[in-house]
Amino acid sequence: MAEAQLCGLQDEFTCSVCLDTLTDPVTIPCGHNFCLKCLTDYWDQTQEYSCPQCRHTFTTRPELSRNTLLNEVIKKLKKTTLSPPPSQNYAGLGDVECDFCTGKKFRAVKSCLTCMASYCQTHLQLHYEGDALKHHKLVDPDRNLKEKLCEKHQKSLEMFCKTDETCICTICGMTEHNSHKKVELKMEREEKQKQLGATLSDIKRGLEEREKTLKEMRRAMEEMK
């Protein structure tokens, strides 16, 4: 009975960074658990200390100490039959890699414009299951996410300043662009697409008229011959 219960809780004892059973588990202030090495390596590669699972950000790097009780429970879990993680494709040439896989990375299936990160099928599940992430904007895998970040504030570019004709983030909109005329980036994109469509139509019309004129000139030349 106890082993069956542990098997049912297997996902609770899986590190969301390496997707394997927790090794030397540590618990951070937001309540999520990770392998000590996975979390240490993850934080060593960034200047912002956030939870890899819920994205909660900490002002200072939390001290990590092993969760002894959880470690004992995991030892019992390892004695049961563990199911392997779901089958996925590793990222190949031209694929967008998952930002949260360690070691050999899986192919990303979605990119999040709110988190500004790309996710494989496994790491993406939190965006479907977590209440805090359900409303994030997911798009097809995008390898150029950094180009969509404000260089000054490292926030996503969500607005367009019509005064300066440039894309800005919300912080820019409240500071140096505060008195400028601004619209949502999506609205500006739709307007530009309409303008481009109208321009292309005018060009097409002009080409058709020139082609018609050229045919008439050729016909007149033939008659003259």
Question: In terms of pLDDT, which residue wins out, 143 or 98?
Answer: 98
Neighbours of 152 (CB within 10 A): 12
What pLDDT is recorded for position 6? 44
Token pair of 193, please?
């697409």
Neighbours of 202 (CB within 10 A): 10
155 vs 141: CA distance, rounded Å? 19
Token pair of 46, please?
């960034």
> What three-state secondary structure class fits 174?
helix
Q: Are 91 and 108 in contact (CB under 8 A)?
A: yes
The CA-CA-CA angle for residues 137, 153, 187, to 5°, reads: 45
Q: Is the pLDDT of residue 3 over 60?
A: no
Where do the domains of the chain lie, and which CATH numbers do they carry?
A: 1-85 (3.30.40.10), 87-148 (4.10.830), 156-225 (3.30.160)
38-76 residue pLDDT tens? 888 888 887 788 888 888 888 888 888 888 888 888 777
pTM here is 0.40
Number of alpha helices (DSSP H) and beta strands (DSSP E) in the chain: 6, 10
195-215 residue pLDDT tens? 888 888 888 888 888 888 888
